[in-house]
Amino acid sequence: MTKAKNNLSQEDEKKIREAFKNKDWNELKSQNSWMIFKVMSEFVEGFEKLDKIGPCVSIFGSARTPEDHVEYKKAEEIGAKLVRHGYGVITGGGPGIMEAGNKGAHSEGGKSVGLNIELPFEQHNNIYIDSDKIIDFDYFFVRKVMFVKYSQGFIVMPGGFGTLDELFEAITLIQTKKIGAFPIVLVGKDFWCGLVDWIKEVLLVKYSNISPKDMDLFHIVETPSEAVQVVDKFYSQYMLSPNF
């Protein structure tokens, strides 16, 4: 693709210029009305397809993780273990870690949900999602609502900006008590410890931007068994079983 000045693509520059364009009332009304109905349709489809899926755990992680990578194998094992322990699995529906989570769930005959986002690269539905549980989204915020509304826990594998966005969305909603204090599990100490150290040393100690108790909102583990055990332990204290 031809690059525009400032290393922006022509498409990026077009979007930036569009934001500064003066639009008349009819143009604004038409665009906003279309967007409102599109957002509504995505919410309706999500609610209709997911309202009866039962207890599920979301697995977040990179779309770029290859099938022969150790993290892919871990995510696949986590998906399978979750199903054996009575949970369904929700992922972002794409390749990499998402595919691995769905593959593990599918291998055990469990519910395998894919909340796919339409992107210009990387993202496509993987083949391990239940055919009646594939949902395609245009809007990230609608997709994130579905993750937090229908998940009873979040297992976060190594990933990029999208994974971090999903992680901090869940932490923020729990911290602000907008959703229940569902378990959040970070898998892979080598990957996550640097970030957690920064949160503790900078956000907590240096700037006091979070409370000490906020450090208890998530757990770091190394193995698939430990990850699923955190979820099971959380619900056992309330004498809740996912098998209902």
- Is 82 a member of any domain? yes
In a domain, 148, yes or no: yes
Residue 222 CA to residue 70 CA, distance in Å, equals 12
The pLDDT score that the predictor gives to residue 67 is 98
- Specify if 16 maps to a domain: no
> Is there a domain that residue 63 lies in?
yes
In whole angstroms, what is the distance from residue 43 CA to residue 154 CA?
21
CATH number at residue 213: 3.40.50.450
Which DSSP helix (H) or strand (E) runs through 230?
Answer: helix 224-236
pLDDT of 123: 61
Band (pLDDT 50/70/90 cuts) for residue 8 is confident
Does residue 95 belong to any structural domain of this protein? yes
| Structural domain that includes position 112 | 40-236
Q: Are 183 and 155 in contact (CB under 8 A)?
A: no
Residues 244 and 240: their CA atoms lie apart, in Å, by 9
Q: What is the tally of structural domains in the chain? A: 1
- The three-class DSSP label of residue 117 is strand
Q: What is the DSSP letter of 138?
A: S
Asked if residue 242 belongs to a domain, the reply is no
Cα–Cα distance, 137 to 111 (Å, whole number): 20
Taking only the tens place, the pLDDT of each residue in 212-236 is 999 999 999 999 999 999 999 999 8
Whether residue 94 contacts residue 70, with contact meaning beta carbons closer than 8 Å, is answered with no
pTM of the predicted structure, to 2 decimals: 0.89
As to burial, measured by CB atoms within 10 angstroms (0-12 exposed, 13-18 middle, 19+ buried), residue 203 is: middle
Considering the domain boundaries, does residue 5 fall inside one?
Answer: no
pLDDT in tens, 107-131: 999 999 999 998 766 568 999 999 9
**For residue 21, is it within any domain?**
no
Cβ count within 10 A of residue 131: 6
Tens digits of per-residue pLDDT, 74-105?
A: 999 999 999 999 999 999 999 999 999 999 99
Write out pLDDT tens, residues 162-188: 999 999 999 999 999 999 999 999 999
